[in-house]
Amino acid sequence: MVKNFFLFFAIIFSVPTLAFAKYCKDFSTHQEAQAYFNAKKPGYKRLDRDGDGSACDCLPGGTGKKCPKSKK
């Protein structure tokens, strides 16, 4: 019974964190993504794949460097 109770709360409290995950595709421009990143809103770390402090470099307005290769 206690095990089920713990499992229930573990699931309930882990789901909202997934909702906060942000991806570059959620933004239209580098500037939008950078503002979100600078504000350190939930999920912001995912936006800087190379760790240089610049979010979503491949979006319009970004440097265009170190972009992931497109899938064929």
3-class secondary structure per residue, 38-59: HCCCCCHHHHCCCCCCCCCCCC
Binned at pLDDT 50, 70 and 90, residue 23 comes out as very high
Q: Are 61 and 29 in contact (CB under 8 A)?
A: yes
pLDDT (0 to 100) of residue 27: 95
Binned at pLDDT 50, 70 and 90, residue 70 comes out as low
Q: Has residue 31 got a pLDDT over 90?
A: yes
State mean pLDDT over 18-39.
89
Q: Are 26 and 44 in contact (CB under 8 A)?
A: no
What mean pLDDT value characterizes the chain?
A: 83
d(CA 9, CA 54): 36
State mean pLDDT over 25-54.
94
Domain boundary assignment for the chain: 20-72
